[in-house]
Amino acid sequence: MAKIEEYVPIVGQSIIDDLRLLAEKLKGKVIQNINSTSVGGGVAEILNRLIPLLRELGVDGRWDLIKGGEQFFGVTKKFHNALHGRPAEISERDFDVFMDTSLKNVEEVNIYGDIVFVHDPQPIVLIKKKAANKWIWRCHVDVSNPDKRVWDFLRGFIVNYDAAVFSAPAFSQHLPIRQFLISPSIDPLSDKNKELPEELIDAVLAKYNVPKDKPIVTQISRFDRLKDPLGVIEAYRQVKKYVDCRLVLAGGTAADDPEGIKVLEEVKEKADKDSDIHILLLPQNDIEVNALQRASDVVVQKSLKEGFGLTVAEALWKAKPVVASNVGGIPLQIKHKYSGLLCHSAEGAAFAIKQILNSPEYAKKLGENGHEHIKSNFLLTRHLRDYMLLFLSLDYQEDVIHL
C-alpha cells in the first residue's frame, strides 16, 4: 500500500502539507466506517485506500462490516435498483427481510466511533444506536430520481443522521439535515492506475486473446443492467459498419450483486459469437483492468445510471479519450468536447466513438485535458482532504470556519 509521501511527486508537497495540517486537527477522534462488503465494488475499493492513509496521517480511521445473507443482499440489490429509479417489485416481505437482518446488526455491531461513517443503504438502520457521537450517512448511489417508496422508507433513518454526503449535485434531496457534495476519487498509485510497461500490457492482451490488429473499444464495468453492456454492443455494431474495430467488455461481479451472472449470459447471447467482441470476466484483477484500459483506443462508459462512474476517471487519468453517458457523476468528470464526449443513447455513443477513431489528434487532446482535470479534482488526496473537512465540519455551523 502506498505511503502518503509517495503522492508528493504527483500532486506536490503543499497538498500533502495541507493534509497533515487537517489531520492534526482530528487527533484523538475515532472515525468508524461501516459498510457491507470488504471486496468488490467502488465503496470497498475506496475504503481500502483511504483508511490506511488516514491512519498514516495520524487520524484513527477504522472499518467494520455488517453481516447479511443472500436474502438480505437480494433485497438491498432491489433497493439499489429502485433508488436508481428502475421499477422494482418490492414486497412487504422484502422490507421485513431488510429490517430483520438490520436489527440483528444493530444488536451485534459494536459502535465505538466519535464519528460513525455509514456507507450506502445496507447498514443504514444502525443509526438506531446513535448516542452522543456524530453520524454521517454516505450515499454512493445515484438518487436523482429515486423510487418514492424505497426513498421514503430510507429517509426515515437518514433524517436521524447529523449529515449526509452525496457524489453529485443532482443527488441532493429535501432533507432537514446538512448535505455535502464529495466526489469519490481514484488512486494514481494503485495497481489499477499506476504506469505499466508495454510488455505487461501486451501480455494481458495475449492472455485474453485480444489481437492488436484493430482499434480497441473498451467498457470496463460490472455485468449489471445499469451499465448497459447491451447498449455498448449496439453502439459497437453501428461503429463497425464504418470502422473495423474490436470491443472488449470486461468486469467482475461484486459479492453483494447476485444479478451479475444473469446479465453476463444476456451479454454473451447478444454478442452472438462475434469473434471481435471479447467478453472477459475478471475477478478483481486490477493490473489486468489497468492494462486493458491502457491498451484501448477509446474507453466507453455507457451507463444508464451511475453512482459516480469512477471508470471514467481511471481512463482519463491514463489520458484516454472517453465516450460516456451524461448521467450521475460523469458530467463532473467530462466537460463535453473538452475532456471527453458525452452521449445520451447508443446512437450517440456510436457517433462519438467513430469521431474519436477517425480523428487521432482530437482524441489525444481530449485525453490530455481529461488527465489534467482528474489530477486537479479526482485523485485520492482531494478525497482525503474532503473527508477530513467533513469530519471537522460537524463541530461548526458557520460557512467560514477558522481552524
Partner 1 sequence: MADLVRAKEPFRFYTRLNLTELTGLAASNLVQLSDLIKQVPGASIYQHTHRFLQQHLYLSPEPPNDFAYWITTVLGEDELGEKLASIDTIQFSTIHGLREKIAGTIEGYLKDNPRASSKFAHKDEEFHFMKSVSFILPTPYAAYNLREFADILGKVTIDSIYFHIFEARLRLEKGANDFSSWIETSLGNKKLANEIAKLDPYVYTLEDLRKKLIKIVEKGIPR
Q: Which is nearer to partner 1, 205 or 379 (CB)?
A: 379
How far, CA to CA in Å, does 316 sit from each of 144, 254, 367?
Answer: 25, 24, 6
**Cβ atoms 291, 204 nearer than 8 A:** yes
User: Does 95 participate in binding partner 1 (rule CB under 8 A)?
Assistant: no
User: Does 21 participate in binding partner 1 (rule CB under 8 A)?
Assistant: yes
Nearest to 223 by CA among 271, 261, 255: 261
User: Does 341 participate in binding partner 1 (rule CB under 8 A)?
Assistant: no
Radius of gyration of the chain (CA): 21
User: Does 10 participate in binding partner 1 (rule CB under 8 A)?
Assistant: no
Q: Whole-angstrom Cα distance, residue 158 to residue 176?
A: 9
Would you give the end-to-end CA distance of the chain in angstroms? 31
User: Does 175 participate in binding partner 1 (rule CB under 8 A)?
Assistant: yes
Region 115-144 residues binding partner 1, contact defined as CB under 8 A: 144
DSSP 185-199: -B-TTSTTTS---HH
Binding region for partner 1 (CB under 8 A) out of 241-249, 259-267, 295-303, 383-391:
383-391
User: Does 326 participate in binding partner 1 (rule CB under 8 A)?
Assistant: yes
SS3 of 216-252? EEEEECCCCHHHCHHHHHHHHHHHHCCCCCEEEEEEC
User: Does 274 participate in binding partner 1 (rule CB under 8 A)?
Assistant: no
Q: Which is nearer to partner 1, 14 or 209 (CB)?
A: 14
| Least distance in angstroms from the C-beta of 51 to partner 1 | 20
Q: Which is nearer to partner 1, 270 or 385 (CB)?
A: 385
How far, CA to CA in Å, does 96 sit from each of 92, 103, 119?
Answer: 6, 10, 21
99, 170, 200, 304: which one contacts partner 1 (CB under 8 A)?
170
373, 374, 379, 383: which one contacts partner 1 (CB under 8 A)?
373
- Cell numbers for 267: 451479454
User: Does 206 participate in binding partner 1 (rule CB under 8 A)?
Assistant: no
User: Does 152 participate in binding partner 1 (rule CB under 8 A)?
Assistant: no
User: Does 347 participate in binding partner 1 (rule CB under 8 A)?
Assistant: no
**Cβ atoms 59, 4 nearer than 8 A:** no
17, 152, 244, 266: which one contacts partner 1 (CB under 8 A)?
17
Kind plus residue range of the DSSP H or E element containing 31: strand 30-35
**Cβ atoms 72, 254 nearer than 8 A:** no
Q: Which is nearer to partner 1, 73 or 387 (CB)?
A: 387
Region 230-249 residues binding partner 1, contact defined as CB under 8 A: none
| Least distance in angstroms from the C-beta of 175 to partner 1 | 6
Binding region for partner 1 (CB under 8 A) out of 74-82, 96-104, 177-185, 239-247:
177-185
Nearest to 226 by CA among 275, 179, 259, 188: 259
Amino acid letter, 5: E
Using DSSP, state whether 255 is helix, strand or coil. coil
166, 236, 308, 317: which one contacts partner 1 (CB under 8 A)?
166
Q: Which residues pair with 263 in a beta bridge?
A: none
User: Does 402 participate in binding partner 1 (rule CB under 8 A)?
Assistant: yes
Q: Which is nearer to partner 1, 22 or 220 (CB)?
A: 22
User: Does 345 participate in binding partner 1 (rule CB under 8 A)?
Assistant: no
| Least distance in angstroms from the C-beta of 397 to partner 1 | 10
Q: Whole-angstrom Cα distance, residue 294 to residue 314?
A: 10
User: Does 401 participate in binding partner 1 (rule CB under 8 A)?
Assistant: yes
Residues at the contact surface with partner 1, assessed by CB under 8 A: 12, 14-15, 17-18, 21-22, 144-145, 166, 169-170, 172-175, 178-182, 326-327, 338, 372-373, 376-377, 385-386, 389-390, 392-393, 399-403
